[in-house]
Structure 1
Amino acid sequence: MSLRRLPPFDLTHALQALVDVFLLLLAWALAFWLRFNLDVPQEYLDLAVISAPVCVLAHGLTLGAMRVHRQVWDFIGLPDLRQLTLGVLLGGLVTAMAVMMFRLPLFPRSVLLLHPVLALVLLGAVRAAWRTVVEHLGTGRADKQPLVVVGSLQDASGALRALKGAGAWEPVAILSPLRAEVGRALQSVRVLGTVSELRDVCEFVHAQTVLVASAPGSAERREALMLAADAGTRLLHMPRADEWLNPHPEAVRQVELEDLLGREPVALDVAGLAELFSGRTVLVTGAGGSIGSELCRQIARFGAARLVCVDVSEYSIYALEQELRQAHPRMEGVYYTANVRDFGRLRAIACEQQPTVVFHAAAYKHVPLMEEHNAIEALRTNVLGTVQAARAAAACGARRFVMISTDKAVNPTNVMGASKRLAELMVQAIAVQEPGTQFVSVRFGNVLGSSGSVVPLFTRQIARGGPVTVTHPEIVRYFMTIPEAAQLVLQAGLMGRSGQIFVLDMGEPVKIVELARMLIRLSGKSEQEVPITFTGLRPGEKLYEELLASDETSEPTPHPKLRIAKTAGPLPEVAEVLRWMEEAGPQPQVAEVRAWLGRRVPEYAPADSGRDAGAREDVADQLEPHERVVQLHQPLFQRHR
């Protein structure tokens, strides 16, 4: 080893090593002292002095082999003590062997048994005392903030261990959902009550912050959120497992809506996805959007050699470039501004980059905006853009093409949903024409926090002080997180065979009014401060979304969160669809667009404008002015019947 590779001298470690040597010698002396009932004869005292270096050398070798010298006493724990125990026991064995080899006369063998016990007690005690002093000095800091932990003793145990290194917090009380645990203590922190007593306990211990240690989506989290908002306290919780992989993970973080919904982590075929993406070129359209950008992040993590990002928005593609360049400097990123409706441009990009897999996420998705004045734009982007992207993928010889669809394509009542359903049919038709590429569609519901979704809208309304506008008290939607949606899209792309439509397991539908209530509470306010008002259903909007049409069935896949929709009926003629959109002109009548969609998508049933108005009037008639502020007492998850 060269001198440059030697570790720097550490005075603290040197002093700790000297303390260990002193304690080993002290244990050796105590072993002789106890062996002879506190009165060691002179000849045995000389024997103890002669053999002491053997003891120290033997333990030095075994403790060094067990790397005990690398332990940091400030954070000593049970694994470190187990490591120390093994080192001391091995040291005692080596000492005994050395004494036997040297054949020291009249050596008392009981000393060889007493010494490891005494050495372990002394070495362990000094380490425990050191950590106790360090923690006591740390908890005495004036800038520590009192913290109440919500969760059972089992849940709170992990949180308290993690908080040992979080200098800003001092746990002062535990609130357990189990009444039997009240009065007990964990790491000197008492269980002062149940979750329902949160306000009283916070006032008693003068705490303004609550840490929820219970599992994501648990009833304790939701109850704590409601009570914390009423008590005017801040709600935190432990990071998710994947967040500990960040370079600088926080010990605690603010509770988010995703945590309350409690979506389980997606189990991915990591080996299969790594084989699909590692060292290959992948192209993503709509790469600057919410789903598209998350797809890019996930693909980059699986080791794609080159990621080709296409988006019509210059700013979105620029922001994505800056993010990926910093997060994945070794990956080659290629960034294009292009419109998916331009086949020539798409084909030129695809043929130049030669992607193995193409993910098509570019689409118009806002239902009311696409319903009236922009109906033809929905068709040209969602249908024509899909056809052009699929044809470009086939032209460059891509192995797989994956289109992002939506639950609004099922029994659609609006132009946006019908356009996405027609896009699914077009992908299936192209799959027949282009057998060299596997064409797959993936259908899922709303994504939390995506651009244009209800969560950012509610957040802005809450920031303004309300009111939060909900269209109908009974409207429900399926929700999933952006990373979960992107991961399942990747999994479906890996598993799918050409022409298949995958349906994601969206879990339980969520009442939008409950979603609004959760967001209000997460902001630290109540419904009295930020009221909720009903505005009536918008054009083309349904009370609930479906994942399968009435004439569809599904079959399972090896992945528990993916199913395959079994569709029936004739496929459209691709050339005929393209010809109509070319001949429709820049501004066809909305009625003409809807009629044409109805002929191509049999399950499309346009919402009658009069019926929509009637529905909105019914809502208004049912609610008196003072009832516009919603009083909610139903559970968050309630399956729509």
Structure 2
Amino acid sequence: MLYQLLKSLNRTQKSSVLVLLDLIWIVVAFEIALAIEANGAQTLAAFVGMSWYLAVLLPAAILAIKLFGLEQIKLHAFSLGDAVDTASLAVFLGGLGFLCNYLPVAQSMAPLSTFFVFALLFLVLSVGARIALRNIVMEIFRRGQNRKRVMIYGAGQTGQQLAAALVTDDEFEAVCFVDDKVALQKLTISSMRVHAPREIADIVAKEQIDRIVLAMPSASLAVRTRIAHGLRNVGCEVLALPSFAEIVLRGEEAQKVAPVETSKLLGRSALEGELPAASETYLDRSILVTGAGGSIGSELCRQILTCKPKRLVLLDHSELALYNVERELQETQTDCDVVVALGSINEPELLDQVLQQHDIDIVFHAAAYKHLPMVEENCLEGLRNNVIGTRAVAEAARRHDVERFILVSSDKAVRPTSVMGSSKRMAELVVQDLATRSEGTRFSMVRFGNVMGSSGSVIPLFEDQIRHGGPLTVTHPNVTRFFMTVSEAVRLVLLAGSFSRGGDVFVLDMGEPVSILDVARKMIEGSGYSVRDDKNPAGDIAITFTGLRPGEKMHEELLIGSDMLTTPHPKILRAQEKRLSEIEIAGALQDLRRAIQTRDESLALATLHTCVEEFTPKDDRDTAS
């Protein structure tokens, strides 16, 4: 009821209430001053005899209140400066009352001390009443509104400014401070208690805190991020507040800090605009994409849909990934028939069913384990998926007279030093072998470097590390990689598929390799932060070097040999590389299958060492080191 009454008052009505209260305090203060002067005797008679003073003081007070603007001050914004204005009004009224002694109507003179006490009492009553009224009104509003309760982490200048700002906010209210400084703990600042960080969980539960705001902009990004992560399980939202100086300067800083452009990370101009469409090759065709839930596979599906195929079949062993990509593709409202097939590429019966039932014309084989350290530690499963699985899909495509088969490969297949890289090279050799014996299906491979944004790529890793305040982890200061966008990689795969004549290995002219350390620096600076190093110890985010992981190369390559042939597009080349014979491939596959069945890693690595150029098994590398 009181809340609704207060909400119904307009500005004029609120001002009138404040003026009326001040007039009442003038009368009360004058009466008390007279009583004190008369020592409590004959107070009523004294008051009646001196009441003509009020006939002068009250009209003058109304004019003075208007002059000082006291009636326009919002109650919830009443501050020390407004108290000073009230004090000025009190001095004015006291002085005016004393001057009234010299008016002709004055029968006797009231002493100066009476008007001094009067002015002092009026000041106390007026300021005290406004503060009390403010607290009462704020409590009524607090009970009448469902404001979110805020804990402020940092009781310094920024925290106090935030607390002052929230006093007049309709949506949030500050409840308490938290600060790491022991000297501030248990103090009361801005009418709020300062607590120690160890008490946060209890306070959040007890005070029903909705949000914690980190009001410590002078702390480094790493410190703020570390605190935010420590609070992630307290049960409420955690936000960081910039300083007010940063807010004022943000417009200027925004002109200096811009997101990192893709071309700056690539070390060359992006090729999306240069790659022509290959839609005619895939128009009205039935297409299968393996590994459709992955970063490359899902982008393949998106771009294939723009080529208007008759049917698009998505194959993946991850139920969640398959569900997500299917839902996205169904929302494109295309006429293409989108079908999902849940299962492994190592199931020949499943592959035969999918290829036959949907009359597949083209297969894009993107399914692969690509995380280098993980495949290194789980080499048998990596080989099962990347080599045996590729053989199963390629064989099924040949059996069912699929028109085109395109293998998505990697630059790590060139002179590999890892199990993952050698498994991709073995997959290429398997496809090249089938290409020599295939009369109907045209087999081809597409080899490219790191894809920004794909699973296992360093770019999303750096982005996540920047969000968490660093440090960014780089294996070696001199390590380099080729980079391309997901869109570029997929456009290349689609184009290469249209260029295929059989047994081709397509590579992209990707320019010069890019320093990973430079990428890390550019991403930090492009995110608006500075690199913390020996030259800049006060920087925001550090870069640490972790050392090359097992099987990882300092520099990747795209070509095994030097012989290259051109294609219809100047940026896409066809590699001329030696192949293994059918007998060698058959023997290698037999050995790999036996190694997988018997869980014999030594046999698997020895087979790779025999078939793949310059691959050094892990045991040999360990012995050499």
TM-score interval (norm. to shorter):
0.5 to 0.7
Q: Is the 8 A contact 1:428 1:571 kept in 2?
A: no
The reply to whether residue 539 of structure 1 matches residue 550 of structure 2 is yes
Deviation, 1:256, is: 4.8
Match of residue 299, structure 1, among 288, 301, 304: 304
Report the secondary structure of 1:466's partner residue.
coil
C-alpha RMSD over aligned residues: 2.4
Match of 2:339 among 334, 359, 373: 334
SS of structure 2 residue aligned to 1:531: strand
Q: In the alignment, residue 547 of structure 1 is paired with which amino acid?
A: L
Structure 2 equivalent of residue 352 of structure 1: 357
Per-residue CA deviation, residues 68-122 of structure 1 (Å, 9 max, x unaligned), is: xxxxxxxxxxxxxxxxxxxxxxxxxxxxxxxxxxxxxxxxxxxxxxxxxxxxxxx
Q: CA deviation at 1:394?
A: 1.6
Aligned-residue offset at 1:402 = 0.2
Say whether residues 1:567 and 2:574 are aligned partners. Answer: no
Query: Deviation per CA, 1:302-333, whole angstroms, max 9, x where unpaired?
Result: 11121111111111111101111112432210
Partner of 2:460: 456
- Asked if 1 retains the 8 angstrom alpha-carbon contact of 2:529 and 2:541, the reply is yes
Mapped partners of 2:479, 2:347: distance in 1:
38
**TM superposition shift of 1:576:** 3.1
Cα 1:266–1:576 change in 2 (3 A) is farther
Mapped contact 1:266–1:487 kept (Cα < 8 A): no
Cα drift, residue 578 of structure 1? 3.5
Alignment CA distance shift 1:206-1:575 (3 Å):
closer
Unaligned runs of 5+ in 2: 1-245, 533-539
The amino acid that maps onto 2:272 is P
Cα 1:207–1:463 change in 2 (3 A) is closer
Q: Is the 8 A contact 1:440 1:501 kept in 2?
A: yes
Contact 1:399 / 1:437 at 8 angstroms: preserved in 2? yes
Aligned residue in 2 for 1:207: 251
C-alpha displacement at 1:210, in angstroms?
A: 4.7
Aligned match of 1:405? 409
- Matched position secondary structure for 2:300: helix
Q: CA deviation at 1:592?
A: 2.6
Report the AA paired with residue 474 of structure 2: V
Task: Provide the rounded CA distance (Å) in 2 between the counterparts of 1:523 and 1:486.
Answer: 27
Contact 1:354 1:397 in 2 (8 A): no
* 2:241 paired residue number: none
Look up the match of 1:596.
607
Provide the identity percentage. 45
Relative to structure 1, the CA distance from residue 570 to residue 459 in structure 2 (aligned partners, 3 Å threshold; closer, same or farther) is: same
The one-character-per-residue Cα deviations of 1:241-286 (angstroms, maximum 9, x if unpaired) are xxxxxxxxxxxxx55545653423343443xx22211111111001
**Aligned counterparts, 1:18-167, within 5 A:** none
**Cα 1:565–1:471 shift into 2, 3 Å:** same
Report what 2:270 is aligned to. Answer: 263
Partner-residue secondary structure (3-state), 1:584 = helix
Rounded to whole Å, the distance in 2 between the matches of 1:607 and 1:420 is 17
Judging changes above 3 Å, is the alpha-carbon distance between structure 1 residues 274 and 510 closer, same or farther for their aligned structure 2 residues? same
Is the partner of 2:331 in helix, strand or coil?
A: helix
Distance 1:584 1:260 in 2: 41
**Cα distance change, pair 463–395 in 1 and its aligned pair in 2 (3 A):** same
User: Which TM-score applies when normalising by structure 1?
Assistant: 0.55
What code does the residue aligned with 2:380 have? I
- Distance in 2 between the 1:486 and 1:434 partners? 25
Q: Distance in 1 between matches of 2:621 and 2:416?
A: 18
With normalisation by structure 2, the TM-score equals: 0.56
8 Å CA contact 1:492–1:502 kept in 2: the answer is yes
Is the contact made by 2:477 and 2:517 (CA closer than 8 Å) also made in structure 1? yes
Question: Larger Rg: 1 or 2?
Answer: 2
- 1:406 maps to amino acid: S
SS of the equivalent of 1:555 reads: strand
For 1:426 and 1:489, locate their aligned partners in 2 and report how far apart those are by CA, in whole Å: 19
Q: Check whether the contact 1:537–1:612 (CA below 8 A) recurs between aligned residues.
A: no
Residue 30 of structure 2 aligns with which residue? Answer: none
AA of the residue aligned to 2:274? A
Task: Figure out how many residues of one structure are paired with residues of the other and give that number.
Answer: 370
> Deviation per CA, 1:541-561, whole angstroms, max 9, x where unpaired?
110001112x44212222111
User: 1:101-144: per-residue Cα shift (whole Å, max 9, x none)?
Assistant: xxxxxxxxxxxxxxxxxxxxxxxxxxxxxxxxxxxxxxxxxxxx
Equivalent residue runs for 1:180-219 within 5 Å: 207-208=251-252, 210=254
Mapped to 2, the partners of 1:396 and 1:569 lie a distance apart of 25
Measured after TM superposition, the shift of residue 604 of structure 1 is: 2.1
Among 275, 279, 284, the alignment partner of 1:279 is 284
Q: Is the 8 A contact 2:606 2:617 kept in 1?
A: no
Secondary structure at the residue paired with 2:447? Answer: strand
Cα distance between partner residues in 2 of 1:471 and 1:502? 29
The correspondence of residues 242-641 of structure 1 with structure 2, limited to 5 A, is: 255-257=260-262, 261=266, 262-270=269-277, 273-372=278-377, 374-528=378-532, 529-549=540-560, 551-573=561-583, 574-586=585-597, 588-606=599-617
Q: What stretches of structure 1 of length at least 5 have no aligned partner?
A: 1-201, 212-227, 229-233, 236-253, 615-641
Say whether the 8 Å CA contact 1:425–1:571 is kept in structure 2.
no
Give 3-state SS (helix, strand or coil) of 2:289's partner. strand
Distance in 1 (CA, whole Å) between partners of 2:623 and 2:314 is: 40
User: Does the residue aligned with 1:327 lie in a helix, a strand or coil?
Assistant: coil
Q: Distance in 2 between matches of 1:206 and 1:338?
A: 51
Who is 1:127 aligned against?
none
The aligned amino acid for 2:360 is P
Once residues 285 and 500 of structure 1 are traced to their aligned partners in structure 2, the CA distance between those partners, rounded to angstroms, is 20
Deviations 1:404-459 (A, max 9, x none): 11111111111111111111111011112221100001111100010121111111
Q: In 2, Cα distance between the equivalents of 1:519 and 1:452? A: 17
Query: 2:287–2:312: 8 Å Cα contact kept in structure 1?
Result: yes
Q: Give the C-alpha shift of residue 471 in structure 1.
A: 0.5
